[in-house]
Amino acid sequence: MARPVGLCELPRGSRERAVLVHCRAGFEREAADELAGHAAARGMSGTTEARPGLALFTPAPPVALARIAAALRYADLVFARQLLFSSALCTGLLVGDRVAPLVAAARAQANRYGEIVIETADTEASKPLLRLCRGLASPLRQALRSAGLLGDAHVDPAWPRLHIIFLRSDSARVGLSYPGNSSPWPMGIPRLRAARGAPSRAGLKLEEAFLTLLTAGEREERLRAGMVAVDLGAAPGGWSWELARRGLSVTAVDNGSLCGEASESRLVRQVRADGFRFRPARPVDWMVCDIVDRPDRVTDLVARWLLEGWCRQCIFNLKLPMKRRLETVWRCREAIGQTLAAARLRHRLTFKHLYHDRIEVTGYITRLS
Ligand SMILES: C[S@@+](CC[C@H](N)C(=O)[O-])C[C@H]1O[C@@H](n2cnc3c(N)ncnc32)[C@H](O)[C@@H]1O
């Protein structure tokens, strides 16, 4: 990975370097343990902190932000909705006098930013801080421009984004994210709307998966009208409808009934069957699976579809009602990896706890040959 641009050191004494990720409230421990696990695999030790909607990893002894940033990949982190590198914790911020210390911390962190994001944790308790974030947007932007710190992301898309993350009205972390190593959305939250006619909001989960787990090029190449998909555990039809909306022909497998436009679409054909036993008559482009079952059963099913050549790629959901959620995802990832590696099937597998996922994560696997 290219060395991140624009980093500079903070004066001694004001260093509060940490990796900070946004996550769904209730999943802070998983996000923190995952960060520590990835850091340890790259030879860094440190302490973790889980606070509502956020997880932090502070390397000990301190490590330059550039080194941490080069070691951690957003795409590899399952429970992180957004990946930030924070150089300072600004405390004692006073009403009417917040801009100057935040600009000073931003200046100490990097030479130039392409964008600024003012945010807080995605929790009920943090909602009142959103007003403060909105109110500061314009004065901070102006002050950063006057200081020559804020450029135009269109000029150089590699410039980092400046993040100001309010923890309380008088304290904020100052950090940055790299456009190629983070979510494009503030707090990692895509603003998607269920289109009219959607049978369920579950379709948003698949839409977010396409936007998050596939590159723009992959979406163009792999989600073309005329392609063929199988949707296992399809009812009431949100995922089938999302695929049909993109022009794919869908076999929707479920003993339950499809609703609304999914039941009326000429591109959706329902088969009442057990998704674990269903076999396609011929290979399809996509298999998607939202069956509520044990993660290891779903994992075996996905591996089987790829091994048998029944599909080229797959998006699937693993439900995580158990306590050891991080270990469960790691175990499933390893199981698929080992099964496919034994068959010499080259593949790419990514998991993400999407914004529209609740107690579950979404996986994307594609054959590489
Ligand atoms: C979470 S819902 C799916 C929602 C769907 N993705 C949507 O967008 O509307 C899970 C579905 O899995 C189905 N299901 C559970 N076990 C199944 C099995 N063995 N075979 C097929 N469908 C199954 C249930 O009937 C239920 O409709």
19 confidence band (pLDDT: 50, 70, 90): very high
- pLDDT for 4: 36
What is the position in ligand 1's atom list of the atom closest to the CA of 202?
8
Rg (CA), the chain: 22
Ligand 1 pocket, residue 240 CB under 6 Å: no
Mean pLDDT throughout 52-67?
91
Residue 50, pLDDT above cutoff 80: yes
Predicted local distance difference test score (pLDDT) of residue 16: 62
Tokens of 183: 């979510």
Residue with the bigger pLDDT between 336 and 10: it is: 336
Q: Is the pLDDT of residue 281 over 50?
A: yes
Sheet holding 82-90, edge to edge: 46-51, 54-59, 18-22, 82-90, 171-177, 161-168, 115-120
12 pLDDT more than 70: no
Tell me, using a 6 A CB cutoff, whether residue 6 lines ligand 1.
no
Q: Which numbered atom of ligand 1 lies nearest the CA of 200? A: 9
DSSP for residue 51: E
Q: Is the CB of 297 under 6 A from ligand 1?
A: no
Q: In one letter, which amino acid is 200?
A: S
Which DSSP symbol is given to 364? E
Please report the sign of the dihedral spanned by the C-alpha atoms of residue 311, residue 320, residue 336, residue 333. Answer: positive
pLDDT tier, 260 (very low <50, low <70, confident <90, very high otherwise): confident
The per-residue pLDDT of the chain, averaged, comes to 93
Residues 6+ apart with CB under 8 A from 154: none
Q: How far is the CA of 191 from the centre of ligand 1 (A)?
A: 25
Paired with 108 in beta bridges are none
Distance between CA 254 and CA 200 in Å, rounded? 15
241 lines ligand 1 (CB under 6 A): no
Q: Is the CB of 200 under 6 A from ligand 1?
A: yes
| Percent of the residues in the chain that have a pLDDT greater than 70, as a whole number | 96
Q: Quickly state the pLDDT bin for 318 (edges 50, 70, 90).
A: very high
d(CA 177, CA 197): 37
Is it the case that residue 163 has pLDDT exceeding 90? yes
**pLDDT tens digit string along 134-144?**
999 999 999 99
Between CA 212 and CA 209 the distance in angstroms is 5
In this predicted structure, the answer to whether residue 126 has a pLDDT above a threshold of 60 is: yes
pLDDT at residue 2, rounded to an integer? 36
Q: What is the pLDDT of residue 15?
A: 55
pLDDT tens column, 169-203: 999 999 999 999 999 999 999 999 988 888 989 99
Angle 28-41/325-342 helices, nearest 10 degrees? 50
- pLDDT band, very low/low/confident/very high, at 67 (cuts 50, 70, 90): confident
pLDDT of residue 127: 95
Nearest C-alpha neighbor of 245 from the set 211, 214, 268: 268
- For position 95, what pLDDT does the model report? 85
Instruction: Give the position of tokens 């929790």.
Output: 123
Structural domains in the chain, CATH included, are 18-188 (3.30.2300.20), 202-367 (3.40.50.150)
The ligand 1 atom nearest the CA atom of 241:
8
Closest CA to 239 of 272, 261, 215: 261
Average pLDDT over residues 130-135: 96
Which residue has the CA at smallest separation from atom 11 of ligand 1? 233
Angstrom distance (rounded) from CA 361 to CA 369: 26
pLDDT at residue number 154: 79
107-129 mean pLDDT: 96
Q: What is the number of the ligand 1 atom nearest to the C-alpha of 291?
A: 12
What would the DSSP string read from start to end of 252-318? Answer: EE-SSPP-HHHHH-TTEEEE-S-TTT---SS-EEEEEE---S-HHHHHHHHHHHHHTTSEEEEEEEE
Which pLDDT value is given to residue 7? Answer: 36
Dist. CA 252 → ligand 1 center (Å): 10
Considering the candidates 127, 205, 319, 352, report the single residue annotated as catalytic: 319
User: Which residue has its alpha carbon closest to ligand 1 atom 24?
Assistant: 233
d(CA 295, CA 340): 17
291 lines ligand 1 (CB under 6 A): yes
Give just the sign of the alpha carbon dihedral 70, 75, 77, 81.
positive
319 carries an active-site annotation: yes
Cβ of 292 below 6 Å from ligand 1: yes
Average pLDDT over residues 67-93: 94
What CA–CA distance (Å, rounded) separates 321 from 62?
36
Question: What average pLDDT score do residues 82-105 get?
Answer: 93
